[in-house]
Amino acid sequence: MKKRYASTWESLKEHQVPQWYEDGKFGIFIHWGLYSVPAFAPQTWELGEVPPDETWFSNNPYAEWYYNSIHVGYGPSYDYHVKKYGKDFKYEQFADMWKAEKWNPAEWARLFKKAGAEYVVLTTKHHDGFCLFPSKYTDYNASKRGPQRDIVGDLTDAVRGENLRMGLYYSGIVDWTFADDPILNNDDLFHTASPTFAYADYAYNQSMELIDRYAPSVFWNDIGWPRQGEHNLPYLLSHYYNTVEDGVVNDRFNDLYYDFTTKEYQSGSANRREKWEMCRGMGLSFGYNAMESDDKIISIEDAISLLVSTVANNGNLLLNIGPRADGTIPEEQEKRLLAIGEWLGVNGEAIYGSRCSSRESIKYTDQIQVHFTERDGALYVLIDAKGKSQVSVTVPGLSGNAVPLDPKVEADTAKIDGGLRFTVKNFGDSQNVAVFRLNRIM
Ligand SMILES: C[C@@H]1N[C@H](CNC(=O)[C@H](c2ccccc2)C2CCCC2)[C@@H](O)[C@H](O)[C@@H]1O
């Protein structure tokens, strides 16, 4: 019998994180839109590395923030815009330059499947207010302008065609078509942005549109929800759960409610007792930044380390790609996705469907860490030895025989000092993380 939710916080709090989200572990975030046309941002810091103040907002590495960056009126993006497009060039003119002429959603979905992703989250409306779906509440959308198609619908169909789950990102509290005072600090971001009841209704109506048109498995709201519309949330979220039985939402609704908490680069909090999700771009930006090259984006080893450490601590990794305006995915991004898919193809047994072990991760050195997951009564030992070709570590309190999941991993294990000593001589096809299954949990 399908559970029905009432539009009350009490009823919503009965919602459990669905099994598919606990099991899925790895998703692909996609930031695609008008900002993909200029595709420019300075390469400065990771979010959280410096305080979110004027220095951050006037040197914003997020290419999807191009509109705000040029409206700040000074800084690298402003200078770039004036030089490349001219002072009088309006951001909205990108709406007729974005053609997505080489876009093949089925190709994207095949790549995400090969990457070993279980879900996808696409921007439907980012802070610039441009909608990638045929909203009836604005003509500033991709079916009327630019690509002249329902980007959200076409990708949703392709992703579901590969049996992956489709999630939708919505910029709830910030929409620069309603309020575009330059954002120069967090107070602007959380308090000044879009202050009207009219906007709160608009955000509510568009969210209902997205739920009713696409029934997304994830409703990924960003930054916050309009304060003037907080009383709408119980209805919106109960409608969401009543429409999408195994739907899931994040924690960016003004700390009023969540299924999972979120981290973003170095920002945000996570504790292993609750379900959480780590999101980041391949480089310093979510939107495509044409300035970013292979050496400036996360290495394959670091991406695999991030996936393993996130999953071992009860999180999911939502790794972002920033496609080009023409619909192609930069090769350096595709290469990372395929490498993660290969690693998961060999070691996925320790990841998909696993649960956080009571054993905490052990950090031997900055390069050498051991993580644990559990699944179906087996304990998995994931030895991450970044940059090393061989490694020897003793894991205390373990016993039993450890079998490498990758047949090409060459390793010995020995009982020593009340623990199990692992000596890995060859990491085979497993990049920097060798995974062992221990058939008895001690
Ligand atoms: C996925 C990314 N989300 C960004 C919004 N980030 C957040 O709301 C950031 C955040 C980070 C972690 C947890 C909750 C919220 C806050 C903004 C400054 C301090 C922390 C967007 O600004 C960005 O363009 C991209 O869409």
Q: What is the pLDDT of residue 269?
A: 86
- Decide whether 9-350 matches 357-438 in CATH topology: no
Task: Quote the tokens at residue 133.
Answer: 């779906």
Q: What is the pTM of this model?
A: 0.98
User: Each residue of 31-74: pLDDT tens digit?
Assistant: 999 999 999 999 999 999 999 999 999 999 999 999 999 999 99
Band of pLDDT at residue 180, cut at 50, 70 and 90: confident
d(CA 104, CA 107) in angstroms, rounded, equals 5
Contact 168, 216 (CB under 8 A): yes
pLDDT at 192 over 80: no
**Chain-centroid distance, C-alpha 41:** 20
Does residue 441 have a pLDDT over 70? no
Ligand 1 close to Cβ of residue 48 (< 6 A)? no
Angle at 97 (CA atoms; ends 96, 101), nearest 5 degrees: 110
Q: Where are the chain's structural domains?
A: 9-350, 357-438
CATH code linked to domain 357-438: 2.60.40.1180
Q: Work out the widest C-alpha separation in the chain, in whole angstroms.
A: 72
Pairing of strands 433-438, 402-404: antiparallel
Residue 178 has pLDDT above 80, yes or no: yes
120-145: average pLDDT: 98
Cα 1 to middle of ligand 1, angstroms: 37
CA-closest residue to ligand 1 atom 24: 64
Tokens of residue 310, six digits: 């996130």
b/e code 391-420 from CB counts within 10 Å (16+ = b):
bbbbbeebebebebbbeebebebeeeeeeb
Cα 216 to Cα 221: distance, rounded to the nearest angstrom: 12
Handedness of CA 45, 48, 50, 55 (dihedral sign): positive
Q: How far apart are CA 272 and CA 260, in angstroms?
A: 11
259 close to ligand 1 (CB < 6 Angstrom): no
Tell me the average pLDDT across 114-120.
99
pLDDT tier for residue 439 given thresholds of 50, 70 and 90:
confident
Mind listing the pLDDT tens digit for each residue in 216-231?
A: 999 999 999 999 999 9
Which CATH code fits 9-350? 3.20.20.80
Q: Are 359 and 368 in contact (CB under 8 A)?
A: no
Choose the residue to mutate in 130, 168, 223 for probing ligand 1, maximizing ligand atoms within 8 Å of C-beta.
223
- Enter the ipTM: 0.97
Q: How far is residue 233's CA from residue 224's CA, in Å, rounded to a whole number?
A: 12
- List pLDDT tens digits, range 282-318: 999 999 999 998 988 999 999 999 999 999 999 999 9
- Find out whether the beta carbon of 185 lies less than 6 Å from any atom of ligand 1: no
Cα 59 to middle of ligand 1, angstroms = 16
